[in-house]
Amino acid sequence: MLEKSLKGNLGYWAWVLFLLGIIGVGVICYIVQYNYGLGATGMSRDVTWGIYISQFTFLVGVAAGGLMLVLPYYLHHYKDFGRITILGEFMAIAAVAMCMLFIMADLGQPMRALNVVFHPTPNSMLFYDMIVLSGYLFLNVVCGWVVLHSEYQGIKYPSWVKPFIYVSIPWAVSIHTVTAFLYCGLPGRHFWLTAILAPRFLASAFAAGPCLLMVIALIMKRTTKFDIGRVAQDKLVTIIGYAALLNFFFLGCEIFVAYYSRIPGHMHTLDYLYFGLADHSTGEVFNNLVPFMRASVVMGFAGIGLIFVSRYLKSDALLALSCILIFVSFWIDKGLGLVLGGFVPSGLEQITEYVPTFVEIGITAGIWATGFFIITVLYKIAISVKLESEKAA
């Protein structure tokens, strides 16, 4: 089945080469970081996690978002999702792979990573994160590959894979819940210390994951003969729209609690993210994330509005635009604000701002390119098989 990825037109190969080029840049940047230490990044004593961990957090969401494509088909026998279920599973594989790479990039002593296995520590949330992430990767590789391979052979998938499919559904919820628990169980980090962090993560995940898939599906609709179909498209709009609205509802809850209670610790980070925060002693205002966070809110609401309009107008272009808006909005919210904001102010009431270095951005781009490379190869296989089996039928 893998041979399907080796047959493609010029555009396909140009895209693959482009991704490999960026991966190469990422590798070079990583060598620089490996030789110098994590000081090659913008992280500091006060902001100890940067863009790597925030990408990791966001991408766990993208992986979990695959659930929204798998669940209707397998649990509710929603036949119109038959063509996209496999895409959801393969997207999850790429996203989890990126998550793992981002964790590795963030470790000060990557060669010791297996200490997490050698010295298992059940009181650490990172221990559970390792279990659920590797488990989710395994489940999606097994389910995705076996189901597709059966289709390739023109038979129904074997029944032994069914339990794995059913387990993968709650498992998707678990990966993002445990990832939220990494943050929301830490005393003294007020911004993260909220019980709705996991629900908020899930809401944004169930919007961002399908958004990415929708954009890719629309690109494939133009460049290949593969069309997920109007019905599935419209259903996805509903899912994305409601999940995105829920995310903003949760954000609103956070804002109410902070500003109505007026507890300083609860307000500080929100102040910093959306308005700028002044230092106690010097009065200097820090606000380098404010334009991003405000743009996130505007893009998010615009995206939600437009996505329903696009369905009404049956416009693929508008649908793609609104999906991109929502995806970028949530990427800023979770891929920047959530992690970086948690460190401002520090436990010592100091404000240190973080700006990623070129090396850091290079590595980040390299890992994203790796993810897209995996998606490209897997989707190429998937749609080749799908188109062939449909032709045969």
Partner 1 sequence: MDSSRRKFLKIAGISAVAGIGAPSALNMLMKNEVRASSEGGGHGAQTDAHGGEGAHAAAPVGKRYGMVIDAVKFHDTPGLAEKCIEACHSYFNVPNFGNKKDEIKWIWQMPFTNAFPGDESHYKKDERTHAMQFMLLCNHCDNPPCVRACPTKATFKNADGIVMMDFHRCIGCRFCMAACPYGARSFNWRDPRGSKDGVPFIKKINPEFPTRMRGVVEKCSFCDLRVKRGLQPLCVEATGDTKAMVFGDLNDPNSEVSQVLKARFTIQRKPSLGTMPSVFYII
In the range 187-246, which residues lie near partner 1 by CB under 8 A? 187-189
Dist. CA 172–CA 67, nearest whole Å:
6
75 binds partner 1 (CB under 8 A): no
Residue closer to partner 1 (CB basis): 11 or 187: 187
DSSP, res 282: T
> Looking at beta carbons only, is 74 or 191 nearer to partner 1?
191
If the CB atoms of residues 349 and 390 are measured against partner 1, the closer one turns out to be 349
Query: Which of 52, 47, 8 minimizes the C-alpha distance to 30?
Result: 52
Closest distance of CB 133 from partner 1, Å? 13
Of 191, 174, 318, 199, nearest to 255 by C-alpha is 191
CB 354 within 8 A of CB 57: no
298 binds partner 1 (CB under 8 A): no
Say how far apart CA 232 and CA 236 lie, in whole Å.
Answer: 6
Q: Which is nearer to partner 1, 43 or 216 (CB)?
A: 43
CB of 44 to partner 1, least distance (A): 4
| Residues 104, 138 contacting (CB under 8 angstroms) | no
Binding test (CB under 8 A) with partner 1, winner from 106, 271, 333, 360:
106
What is residue 81's DSSP assignment? G
- For 225, the 3-state DSSP assignment is coil
Give, in order, the Cα–Cα distances in Å from 181 to each of 18, 106, 227. Answer: 37, 19, 38
For position 283 contacting partner 1 by CB under 8 A, the verdict is no
Residue 29 found at the interface with partner 1 (CB under 8 A): no
x/- map, 151-190, partner 1, by CB under 8 A: -------------------------------xx--xxxx-
State in angstroms the smallest separation of the CB of 315 from partner 1: 44
Cβ closest to partner 1, residue 6 vs residue 186: 186
Q: How many Cα atoms are found within 13 Å in the side-chain-facing hemisphere of 105? A: 35
Q: Which of 115, 134, 153, 261 binds partner 1 (CB under 8 A)?
A: 115
Q: Are 351 and 272 in contact (CB under 8 A)?
A: yes
125 binds partner 1 (CB under 8 A): yes
| Residue 338 in the binding site for partner 1 (CB under 8 A) | no
**Residue 117 CB, nearest approach to partner 1 (Å):** 9
Which residues 30-69 are close enough to bind partner 1 by CB under 8 A? 36-39, 43-46, 48-49
Q: Rule CB under 8 A: say whether 135 interacts with partner 1.
A: no
Residue 185 DSSP label = T
Q: In angstroms, how far is CA 154 from the centroid of its own chain? A: 33
For the bound state, the minimum distance from the C-beta of residue 193 to partner 1, rounded and expressed in Å, comes to: 10
Contact criterion met (CB below 8 Å) for 259 and 115: no
What are the tokens at 219? 């690109």
164, 265, 308, 388: which one binds partner 1 (CB under 8 A): 265
Part of the chain binding partner 1 (CB under 8 A), chosen from 118-126, 144-152, 253-261, 382-390: 118-126
**If binding is defined by CB under 8 A, does position 123 make contact with partner 1?**
yes
Q: Does 24 bind partner 1 (CB under 8 A)?
A: no
* CA distances for 227 relative to 223, 233, 387, angstroms: 10, 10, 10
C-beta closer to partner 1: residue 37 or 252: 37
DSSP assignment string, 293-348: HHHHHHHHHHHHHHHHHHHHHT-HHHHHHHHHHHHHHHHHIIIIIIHHHTTSS-TT
Peptide bond into 345 cis (omega under 30): yes
Nearer CB in complex with partner 1: 124/261: 124
Site of interaction with partner 1 (CB under 8 A): 36-39, 43-46, 48-49, 103, 106-110, 112-113, 115-116, 118-119, 121, 123-127, 130, 182-183, 186-189, 264-265, 280-281, 342-343, 345-350, 352
